[in-house]
Amino acid sequence: MVTRARHAADTQTPTEVLVVEGVAISKPDRVLYPQSDLTDADITKGAVAEYYAAVSSRMLPYLANRLLSTFRCPDGIGEICFFRKHAPNAEEGTGILSVHEASGATGTYVYVKDVVGLLTEVQMYTLEFHIWGSHVNTLEQPDLLVFDFDPDVGMELGTVRQGVKDLKTCLDDLALTSYLKTTGGKGYHLVVPLKPQASWEQLQSFAKKMAERMEARWPERYTSSSRKNARQGRIYIDWERNVRGATAVCPYSLRARERATVSLPIAWEELDFIAPGGITLETALARLEQEDPWRNFFVISQELPKD
C-alpha cells in the first residue's frame, strides 16, 4: 500500500512523506536517477521505494536473513555514493550479527528480515543490495554458488554469452542445475542453489576448480586469474564470489547506474536476447506479469559433487 501525507513543523515549508508498506519514505521527490540521454525522465526516491515494494515478494526469498553490504546514494547516482558493510545497530525490520572476519577483527553486519526492513534500507537511500551466500542461521554453510563473468575491455557480448553457455555445460556435466541473471552491468551471473552442507572452504575450492577446468579446456577464452594482464582477450571466470565474506548483487536489486538497471533473473532461452544491462526498473516491473524464470530455485535439492 502506498499513501502520501504532508507533515510540517513549519507550515510554510511542508515536507511530503510517502508511506510504502507502512514505512515512511521522506523526501520521496528527491531525484536519485537524473534524466539523461538514455532515459526519458527522472527517477525519484519514491519511485525506488515503490519498485522495491512491488518486487518484494520475489526478492525477499533471496535477500531476507542474509548478511548485506549496501550501496547508498543520498544525493543521487551522479553524486557521492558509498558502500555500507558494517552496521552499528538494527533499524526497523532489520537485524544485526557480529561476525569474526578473516582479519581477526569482529564486524557487525546488518540483514533484512522482511519488506519493512527492505524499505527501511531504501529510506536510508540504499539503491543496491549485495548478499552473502549463506543465511544468518547457517552462516558457515553456504547455499549459493555464484559465478561472475568479467570480460576483457572491448570484448563482444556474443563472446561473453558463449562463456556463460560453456560454464553451464560444465555444470550440467556434473548434474548441477544452474540459473541465470543479468547483473545490471557488463556481465551475467550464473547461480547454483545448494543444500547448506558444505563449508566455505569447500565451496571456494570447488568454484576455483570449475574456473580452472574452463581455463584448461578453452585456454584462449578463459582465465581463472583475477590479474588484469591475464585477461587480454579472455574472460575472467570470477570464482572469488564464493569466499566467506564476499557478496554478489541480489536478484531484483537496482544498480546505481544510468537507466536504473536491474540484476534480474532471466530464463536460459533469453540469454541471446537480453544484455547484462538490458533490464531497467520499468522493464523489471513489467516482467512481474510473466512467469518467474527462477520459480523452481528453492525446490532444487543438490550438493557439491564429491572429489
How many whole angstroms separate alpha carbon 225 and alpha carbon 214? 12
User: What's the burial of 105, exposed, middle or buried (CB within 10 Å: 0-12/13-18/19+)?
Assistant: exposed
pLDDT confidence of residue 14: 44
How many whole angstroms separate alpha carbon 269 and alpha carbon 273? 8
How many whole angstroms separate alpha carbon 65 and alpha carbon 163? 32
pLDDT confidence of residue 96: 96
How many whole angstroms separate alpha carbon 239 and alpha carbon 202? 12
Residues in Cβ contact with 120 at an 8 Å cutoff, skipping those fewer than 6 apart: 23, 91, 92, 93, 94
How many whole angstroms separate alpha carbon 217 and alpha carbon 296? 31
Classify the C-alpha dihedral 89-110-276-209 as positive or negative.
positive
DSSP state, residue 233: S
How many whole angstroms separate alpha carbon 180 and alpha carbon 223? 20
| List of domains in the chain | 2-131 (3.90.920.10), 139-244+255-307 (3.90.920.10)
The parts of the chain modelled with pLDDT lower than 70 are 1-15, 38, 307
* Residue 148 phi, psi dihedral angles, 5° rounding: -110, 150
| Cα 70 off chain centre by | 10
Place of cell 557488463: 186
pLDDT confidence of residue 209: 95
Contact 196, 133 (CB under 8 A): no
CA dihedral 11, 12, 13, 16 (to 10 degrees): 50
C-alpha distances (whole Å) from 147 to each of 141, 182, 203, 207 are 18, 12, 12, 8
How many whole angstroms separate alpha carbon 43 and alpha carbon 122? 14
* Residue 43 phi, psi dihedral angles, 5° rounding: -120, 125
Q: How many residues does the chain have?
A: 307
What angle, rounded to 10 degrees, do the helices at 200-217 and 157-173 form? Answer: 120
pLDDT confidence of residue 204: 96
H or E element, residue 111: strand 106-112
* Residue 120 phi, psi dihedral angles, 5° rounding: -65, -40
How many whole angstroms separate alpha carbon 39 and alpha carbon 46? 17
Give me 265's grid cell: 533473473
DSSP state, residue 292: P
H or E element, residue 165: helix 157-173
